[in-house]
Each structure stands twice: as C-alpha cells, then as structure tokens.
Amino acid sequence: MPVVRDYLRSTALPHIWCPGCGHGIILAAILRALARIDPDRDEVVVVSGIGCASRAPGYLDFNTLHTTHGRALAFATGIKLAKPKLKVIVITGDGDAAAIGGNHLIHAARRNIGITTFCFNNSIYGMTGGQHSPVTPVGALATTAPYGQLEPSFDLCGLAQASGATFVARGTAYHAAGMTELAYQALTNEGFSFVEAISQCPVGYGRRNRMGDAVGMLKWQKDNTASVRAAERMAPEQLEGKILTGVLHANSRPEYTKAYDELVARLAQDKGGTGR
C-alpha cells in the first residue's frame, strides 16, 4: 500500500502553510484514505480555487489544477464530464467554497456529479490575513470584523445536503484518524460528496480570538465537537453548542456523468431527431 510520502511532489516542498496550521493534518488524512483505495495516479485529478487550502494540489503528484477564486467545482465539472473515468477531487476553503464559490457548490451537489469535495474550514480568510468568512462565528474578531462578526454563519454540511449531495460528513484536524475514515467513504461514493474538515488557523484566527496556540485550538476542536454516534446518547443540554462530526448524510441517486453516458447510448440507438 502506498504511503503519504508517495503522493507528494518532493520538489514542491516545503509547503507555504504557517506553523500550527491544520491543513497538513487534513491533507495527510485524505492521502491515507487514497492510499487505501490505491487508484491509478494518472487518473486522479485534484482541483482547487484560491486560498491557503487551495495551495494543496501543487504538492500532490497527480494531475493538478489550481484555478481562480471560488471556481474549482466549475473547472472540475468540465473535467469530470469530459472524461468521467477520472477520479476528480476538489480541495477548497471556507471562503472559496461558501462565499465566492457558493453557487458552484450548490449546483455541483444538485447534479450529483462524481466529485469529492474537501472544504478545509478554518473560519477565516487566512491567505489575505484574517478577514471574516461566511462561517466565522457571530461575535468572533476578524480584520474586517474588528468589533465582532455580526453576520450569522453558514452550516456548510446542511447547505450541501439540502442541495443534493449524496454523501456529507464533517471531521476535524484533531480527529485525524476519523478524518481518514470519512475521506475514504467520501472518495468511494459514486456521486457528489462533501466533507467539511475543521482546521485551525492559529495565526489568522486563533491569536486574534484568544484561543491559544495550535495545541489550544486542537483541544478546542476536541471539546466542542460530538460525533453523531455519541450525540445519540447525549442529553440536549450536553449537546448545547457542540458541532456534530461524522457521516451526517448518505443516500443514493443517479450520478450525473453516468446519466449523460446513458443519454449518449440511448441516442446512438435512435438515428432520427435533431442530430442531422
């Protein structure tokens, strides 16, 4: 079985992420899940937008595409529909996926196109220095919310599920082993999968919000989350303020490129119509 190192472009390292950033832990978890699947590396495509998380594909020894801000899923849709045999993975951040790219997330999920999306959620725009994102909690400080965030935050997993994703899960950098398991399930779902990976940004978020260093923020992830299985046995007051982790939604319906292939096959039988 391949190991994480086998999937890295050694010449592209070291990475640009700050000390204490959670993105490396999450990326490693995804790569461990991929190693379990052991796909033909030539047939894996990793697509990203703009931001800290979106720098990940450059470090990976696959077909990799670092696109424009928010648009990773739209580029990935073109790749998957053009060549459905490719395994298409999108790595994005909370600003990239939920603000500028929100429309593409909704519609990729609605189509149930076979793309696995990992949203590295660190609650902040890290690359530009700590501005609030659509998931920054109410009251939290950011450079563009100097008196505390006024806007309510998005539930990204709820958004993905409501839009039609057939696999939705949430994990954290703290629960690295669990993250690998969720990534494996997401990567083996045929349709559109969405995984929210809670990460920590000690430099752009934690420091400003007095959450301590990276260790303190990882501990926050441990203390403020509950797995869906544990939640079943917890009282409502124990669950107050807890973020649910684990598989939040899974169902099955036709994958988009398969449906398109069936259309092409059906039309091949029927020579009339508008084909001229």
Partner 1 sequence: MSARVALVQGNEACADGAIAAGCQFYAGYPITPSTEIAEIMAARLPRTGGRFIQMEDEIASMAAIIGASLAGLKAMTATSGPGFSLKQENIGFAAMCEVPCVVVNVQRAGPSTGGPTAPGQGDIMQARWGTHGDHPMVAFVPYSVRDTYDLTVAAFNCAEHLRTPTIVLLDEVIGHMREQVEYPERVRVVDRERPDPAITPPDEYLPFAHADGGVAPMADFGSGYRYHVTGLHHDERGMPTANPTEIDRLVRRLQAKMDLAAASWQLYEEMHVADADILIVAAGGPVRPAKRAVNMARANGIKAGLFIPQTVWPFPVKRLRELLGRAKAVVVPELNLGQLVLEIERHACVGGRAVPVHSLTRVDGELFTPAQLYAAIEEVS
Tokens 């959620």: give the residue. Answer: 121
> Burial letters for 5-18: b for 16+ Cβ neighbours within 10 Å, e otherwise?
eebbeeeeeebebe
Number of residues that bind partner 1 (CB under 8 A): 44
Q: Are 101 and 109 in contact (CB under 8 A)?
A: no
Binders in 244-263 for partner 1, by CB under 8 A: 260, 263
**Region of residue 9 (phi > 0: left; psi between -120 and 50: alpha; otherwise: beta):** beta
Number of H helices, E strands in the chain: 10, 10
Residue 210 contacts partner 1 per CB under 8 A: no
Residue 41 contacts partner 1 per CB under 8 A: yes
Residue 239 contacts partner 1 per CB under 8 A: no
The smaller minimum CB distance to partner 1, of residues 103 and 188, is found at 103
Question: Which has the closest alpha carbon to 175: 217, 238, 221, 135?
Answer: 221
The smaller minimum CB distance to partner 1, of residues 152 and 273, is found at 273
Residue 170 contacts partner 1 per CB under 8 A: no
The smaller minimum CB distance to partner 1, of residues 146 and 275, is found at 275
The smaller minimum CB distance to partner 1, of residues 106 and 250, is found at 106
Pick the binder of partner 1 from 6, 43, 151, 223 (CB under 8 A): 43
Pick the binder of partner 1 from 25, 76, 197, 247 (CB under 8 A): 76
Interface region with partner 1, contact rule CB under 8 A, candidates 25-33, 69-77, 133-141, 238-246: 69-77
The smaller minimum CB distance to partner 1, of residues 43 and 151, is found at 43
Question: Which has the closest alpha carbon to 74: 23, 36, 109?
Answer: 109
Tokens in use for 148?
A: 């505390």
Distance CA 257, CA 111 (A): 9
Distance CA 23, CA 114 (A): 24
Tokens in use for 152?
A: 């309510």
Residue 223 contacts partner 1 per CB under 8 A: no
List phi, psi (to 5°) of 236: -55, -40
The smaller minimum CB distance to partner 1, of residues 57 and 204, is found at 57
Distance CA 39, CA 43 (A): 7
Pick the binder of partner 1 from 3, 6, 103, 188 (CB under 8 A): 103
Q: Which residues bind partner 1 (CB under 8 A)?
A: 9, 11-12, 41-43, 45, 47, 57-58, 61-68, 71, 74-83, 85-86, 103-104, 106-107, 260, 263-264, 267-268, 273-276
